Structures are given as structure tokens and as C-alpha cells.
Structure 1
Amino acid sequence: MVAPGRLGVGIIGAGRVGPVLGAALAGVGHAIVGITAGSDDDRVAAVLPGVPVLDAVEVVRRSELVVIAVPHDELPGLVQGIADLGGWQAGQLLLHTDPGYGTDVLSPAAERGAIPLAVHPAITFNGTSVDLRQLQASFAAVTAPAAVLPIAQALAVEMGCEPVVIAEQDRASYAEAIATATEFSRSIVQQSTGLLRSIGVENPGGYLSALVSSAVERALRDESDPLALPPDL
């Protein structure tokens, strides 16, 4: 796999995902040239100290690689809007992190010569440097045109993830799988902690921590091993 050269990286999206991925890329030698404003500038500054806060068009202008980490519904309009302003550059790498889209959503930029990549690290982000350790044990879904797929895979590796190729037409099913695992886990934990709290158990989250972690690990292990023994009675 051919790793990309050291790049000037701009981040559009200062929520939980963008700053962390910027820090991961900075950790392997890339230069973070700017990030858009967010709702928690102190948190972003702690993850990416000294990185200038710029508007999206200026981030694009300064960057060889643009990482877009914005809510699902905002992504198409953002890409089109920057295209309408003539922002995207020929040969510029453009990577988004949304699980539900492949690279078709980046078509307005690709039509202007940008190189479209989709990389979704499969973790739940907290938006702090703690996420960098989680990335080291995670996988990432990568989608890209065949000619540039090695670039997407290499960037996933540089973020700390093991890349898994997901076809463009399968991104919707992939996103459903991610949402199901995430939302089901959250709702079950909330229901269980609520029941424990109602009967007077203090710190129900802490009480269930080892149980939930071991149950999930067991379920994942059993899924990986079709010959696994049935759960203990």
C-alpha cells in the first residue's frame, strides 16, 4: 500500500470527529492548516493547539487534504456550496467521514478535479484525545474510486485504523449496521440503568460497566466463532 506524502490538512467540522482525526493525522507528520469554528473552541484547542480557526472556503484554499466531518444532512449542501464558489481545487484530496455516504456525494468537487474519498472510523467519538487510543484498535470503512482506493486505505491506516473496503452501493446498509449497533446499545444501557436507579442502586452506570462490556465482548466473540459454546446458564 502506497502511503500519501505529508500534506497540509484542513478540517471542516469542529464537532467530536474532525479535531480528533486532525490530531491523528498531525501525529504522523501532516500539517493541520486550519479548522472551521465549532461550539466548543476550548475543547478543539486542547486537541489541536495553535491551529487557526478559518471559514470553510479559506480552509479549502489552504489545504491539500480536506477532511469534512459534519452532520449527515449538511454534507451535500456544503460540498455543493463550496463548488459553487469555485473553492475545490484540481488534485486536492477530499475526504468525508459520514457512514451513510460513499463518494457520490462529493461529485460536485470531483467534477472540478478534486479526489473523492470516504473514510468512516467505526468508533463512538468523545471529541477528546482519549479517542486517539480508541482509533488504534478500530476499523474504518473506506470507499473510493479504484484508482485512488490505496490513498483512502493509507489515510485510514495513518488515522490508526484497519481499513475495510465498502462498495459505494453498500454504504446505506453499512450505515444501518452502525446505527443499529450504536442506538441499540445506548437504549438498552439507558433502560437498564433506569431500572437500577429506580430501586436505589447508586451509580448504576458503574455497576453495569463490567457486565455490559463482558456481555458485548462475548457476543462479538461468539459472532466471530461459529463453533462457540452457547452462553452459560
Structure 2
Amino acid sequence: MSAPGRLRQGIIGESAAAITLATALHRCGHVVTMASVRDAEMAERLDALAPGVRAGEPGDIVAGCDLVWIAADDARVGEVARELARAGAIRPGILIAHACAGIGLEPLEVAESQGATVLAFTPLAPLDATSVSVARLSGMALAVTARAPFLPIAQALATEMGAMPVTIDTDEAPIVHEAARLALTHVGVLLDAATRLLGAVGVDNAAAIIAPLLESHLHAGPGAVAETLTPQAQARLHARLDRIRLSPLDEDDPEPATDALADVAALIDALEGHLSRERGAR
């Protein structure tokens, strides 16, 4: 290691999220020493965030580093781990991590079987390997997944990045990813719609109106909006949701959904029910 308690990091691949997390750690002393980044633009971003990183082959990176980020897309994380395992590159005690949303530890199990300590981090906001995205980590929720004995390592690394670690089980990773996707996609659409409506009536600074509304709703907690509806409006809302069925989570009635906004509420219900069933089956 470069200093007591400091990790030598290596990066294999071009995932912007993994590069962002690695360079956030680089700034607090866990130095990125080697990388195999074939995409020219992403290599330039890495050089801007962590100047002086040496290029290296994956086997050399694993041999020379304490923490290796498999910075591939989610479909290739397992493939890269298997390639390293077949090459005999993985040694006991090395930390191997990915930052892909929704896939948990399963793709890294082949590395784990050879003695590696495997970690998964799920950023809950887009990260694009720029100084802005590194700064965005400050106070941001970061889902962390690890086997119980190594969970404190994952939590400590997330905290050093400046993020707020949120612990999830490996099989809950897809649910967390879907929840974040819903928030990013649908809240963004609704905010754009609200901003346009306000602009249409001459309100230039829509954010000044919308931001306090969002903040008050988040502090009020789930269900706060429904509680402000009249009993008649709540009855209409529930009747509408009762007519909506979602596939594939609702396997008993795969009737297609009929309303885009109601789909969001119904999908949340389906996800919560799915997660409750999974937990009850353990």
C-alpha cells in the first residue's frame, strides 16, 4: 500500500461511475496507480481527475493493486471477473469492486471463490467521471453491498468518498436500481412539465416555487400527498390503481398498464409487494 491504511487502486474498463468513485478515493489518499481504459475520452477524464495514472494490462493491475474496480458495463462485469480468474490473476485478500446498478455481488462470485473480497456500489444519481460528479458525491446516498464480515470496509470507503452509505443485500440491488430509475425518469418529466406550465404564465424562476414544494414533500414522508386529497379523490385514485396490473412483477394478472403516471404508483406497490414476498421466503 502507498501509506498505512491507504489502498493502491486499479481500474479495468471505462465505466464513468466506477472512475468517479475511484478518483473520489484518490483525492483522500487511496491512489489510483494503474488503469486499463481503452476509450480515449474516458482516459482523458481519468487523467484530469488523477494525473499520472500508468496504463497497464488487467493482470498487471490485479497483481499491483489492493483495490481493483471492474469498470465494465453491467453485462460484462462477470465476464471480466471470469477472465481474471481463468488467468490465475486473483489472489486472496484483494478487494474487487464494481459500480454497476442493480446487479449485486453475483457477477463477482467467481473472484470471491478464489479468495477476493468483493464489493458492489450502486450510485443513486448519474456520475460522469468529471470533477462535478466527484463533488456531487458529497452527501449523496450510495448503496453498498458486501458480505457481512466485509461490510464495514464498503461503508468506510463510501464515507471516505463523501457519500452516505446505504446498506442493501445483493438480491435487493435490482429493486433499489428500479426505485432510483423511477425517481430520475418520472420526477424529471414532472418537473419539466411543471416548469413549462409556470413559464407559460410568465413565471421565470420556476425553481423558486418548485424546490420548496419538493423539499416539504420529502420531509413529510410517503403518503403525505394522498393525505391532502379529499376522501372522494382518494377513492378515485385507488379505483384507478386497482384497474392497473403490471407485468412481469404481477404474474397473476399481466394485463397491460393503461396510464403512464398511474403506472408509477402501481409499480411502486408491485415492487414493495415483491420485496416483501422475497423477504418472507428467506
Q: Shorter-chain TM-score: which interval?
A: 0.7 to 0.9
Q: Which has the larger radius of gyration?
A: 2
Greater RCO, CA 8 A, separation 6+? 1
Give the TM-score normalised by the residue count of structure 1.
Answer: 0.81
Q: Secondary structure of the equivalent of 1:157?
A: helix
For residues 68 and 219 of structure 1, the distance between their equivalents in structure 2, rounded to whole angstroms, comes to 38
Q: Give 1:13's aligned residue.
A: 13
Q: Secondary structure of the equivalent of 2:166?
A: strand
Q: Give 1:114's aligned residue.
A: 116
Amino acid at match of 1:118: A
Q: 1:230 to 1:196 in 2, by over 3 A?
A: closer
Q: Which shifted more, 89-98 or 51-60? A: 51-60
The alignment-based identity, stated in percent, is: 32
Aligned residues: 223
Of the three residues 62, 71, 90, the one matched with 2:64 is: 62
- Please list every run of 5 or more consecutive structure 2 residues that lacks an aligned counterpart in the other structure: 230-282
Contact 2:217/2:224, CA 8 A, preserved across alignment:
no
Q: Give 2:246's aligned residue.
A: none
For residues 43 and 89 of structure 1, the distance between their equivalents in structure 2, rounded to whole angstroms, comes to 30
For residues 84 and 207 of structure 1, the distance between their equivalents in structure 2, rounded to whole angstroms, comes to 57
Q: Give 1:132's aligned residue.
A: 134
Q: 1:50 to 1:208 in 2, by over 3 A?
A: farther
Contact 1:14/1:35, CA 8 A, preserved across alignment:
no
Give the TM-score normalised by the residue count of structure 2.
Answer: 0.68
* Coordinate RMSD, CA, aligned: 3.1
Contact 2:142/2:158, CA 8 A, preserved across alignment:
yes
Structure 1 residue 226, shift from structure 2 partner: 5.2
Of the three residues 91, 94, 114, the one matched with 2:93 is: 91
Q: Which shifted more, 82-91 or 13-22? A: 13-22
Structure 1 residue 194, shift from structure 2 partner: 8.6
For residues 212 and 83 of structure 1, the distance between their equivalents in structure 2, rounded to whole angstroms, comes to 51
For residues 89 and 175 of structure 1, the distance between their equivalents in structure 2, rounded to whole angstroms, comes to 30
Q: Secondary structure of the equivalent of 1:72?
A: coil
Q: Give 1:167's aligned residue.
A: 169
Q: Give 2:45's aligned residue.
A: 43
Q: Give 2:23's aligned residue.
A: 23
Q: Give 1:221's aligned residue.
A: 219
Q: Give 2:272's aligned residue.
A: none
For residues 13 and 77 of structure 1, the distance between their equivalents in structure 2, rounded to whole angstroms, comes to 12
Structure 1 residue 207, shift from structure 2 partner: 6.2
Q: Secondary structure of the equivalent of 1:127?
A: coil
For residues 72 and 80 of structure 1, the distance between their equivalents in structure 2, rounded to whole angstroms, comes to 14
Q: Give 1:145's aligned residue.
A: 147
Amino acid at match of 1:19: I
Contact 2:12/2:35, CA 8 A, preserved across alignment:
yes
1:104-151 CA distances to partner (integer Å, 9 max, x unpaired)?
221110111101111223222132111222111111111111111111
Contact 1:122/1:141, CA 8 A, preserved across alignment:
yes
Contact 1:93/1:117, CA 8 A, preserved across alignment:
yes
For residues 77 and 214 of structure 2, the distance between their equivalents in structure 1, rounded to whole angstroms, comes to 32
Q: 1:76 to 1:209 in 2, by over 3 A?
A: farther
Q: Secondary structure of the equivalent of 2:33?
A: strand
Q: Secondary structure of the equivalent of 2:76?
A: helix
For residues 207 and 53 of structure 1, the distance between their equivalents in structure 2, rounded to whole angstroms, comes to 47
Structure 1 residue 153, shift from structure 2 partner: 0.9
Amino acid at match of 1:35: A
Q: 1:193 to 1:34 in 2, by over 3 A?
A: farther
Large movers: runs of 4+ above 4 Å: 186-197, 206-215, 224-231
Amino acid at match of 2:176: Y
- Please list every run of 5 or more consecutive structure 1 residues that lacks an aligned counterpart in the other structure: none
Structure 1 residue 33, shift from structure 2 partner: 1.1
